[in-house]
């Protein structure tokens, strides 16, 4: 009887914890638009241990590898999106996931886009947070996610030779 009760309590505790163990709902989103203002993708940002998970989905993009970063300014003025500033870098590191002196908090792996023009990935913006404070993706002026025309080489400072900015989306808090 005691064993049955203990098992029932353990199962109830496990079931009660399932929503806590599930991935948190996205706390921020961005719609990526190309130079013509057409939506070509979305990014959802969710706080996780060690940073912010950035899940990106794109369509209508040239096949191949594309640099994908969080940029330091929440502006996406086309056609070149230079208004988004440099990579998000609150710790003043050098660029590149393979750089021993890096990486920027906005540096992420390349996004692979298939022959059909679609791609998706989940990346970690290490050290970034969606709350206030150091590493916040919501400083004065905001932040943006940017898709580049070419792959990031993961080491060249300041931007990885990823080429032109082909899509941009301002990171916005989810209501």
Active site residue 104: yes
Which of 33, 107, 152, 173 is flagged as catalytic?
107
pLDDT tens readout for residues 86-107: 888 887 776 667 777 777 667 7
Q: Is the dihedral of CA 76, 78, 82, 83 positive or negative?
A: negative
Q: Considering the entire predicted model, what is its pTM?
A: 0.82
d(CA 93, CA 80): 25
Domain topology for 24-173: Immunoglobulin-like (2.60.40)
Which of 33, 66, 148, 152 is flagged as catalytic?
148
Which of 34, 66, 87, 152 is flagged as catalytic?
87
Q: List residues bridging with 113 in a β-sheet.
A: 64
d(CA 69, CA 107): 5
Question: Looking at residues 124-148, what average pLDDT do you find?
Answer: 90
Which of 71, 80, 116, 140 is flagged as catalytic?
71
What percent of the chain is predicted at pLDDT more than 90? 49
Instruction: Return the pLDDT at 94.
Output: 67
- CA neighbor of 45 nearest in space, from 94, 92, 108: 108
Could you tell me if 29 and 46 are in contact, meaning their C-beta atoms sit under 8 angstroms apart? no
Active site residue 66: no
Domain extent listing, the chain = 24-173
Active site residue 33: no
Three-state DSSP class for residue 19: helix
pLDDT tens readout for residues 14-70: 333 333 333 455 589 999 999 999 999 999 999 999 899 999 999 999 999 999 999
């Amino acid at each position: 009887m005691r064993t049955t009760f203990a098992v029932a309590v353990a199962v109830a505790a496990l079931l009660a914890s399932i929503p806590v163990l599930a991935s948190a709902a996205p706390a921020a989103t961005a719609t990526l638009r190309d130079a013509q203002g057409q939506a070509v993708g979305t990014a959802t940002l969710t706080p996780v241990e060690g940073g912010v998970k950035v899940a990106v989905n794109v369509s209508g993009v040239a096949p191949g590898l594309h640099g994908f970063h969080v940029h330091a300014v929440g502006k996406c003025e086309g056609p070149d999106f230079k208004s988004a500033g440099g990579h998000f870098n609150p710790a003043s590191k050098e660029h590149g996931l393979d750089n021993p002196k890096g990486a920027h908090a906005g540096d992420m792996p390349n996004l692979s886009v298939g022959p059909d023009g679609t791609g998706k990935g989940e990346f970690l913006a290490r050290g970034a947070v969606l709350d206030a404070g150091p590493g916040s993706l919501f400083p004065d002026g905001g932040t943006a996610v940017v898709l580049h025309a070419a792959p990031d080489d993961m080491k060249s400072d300041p931007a990885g030779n990823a080429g032109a900015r082909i899509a941009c989306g301002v990171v916005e808090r989810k209501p």
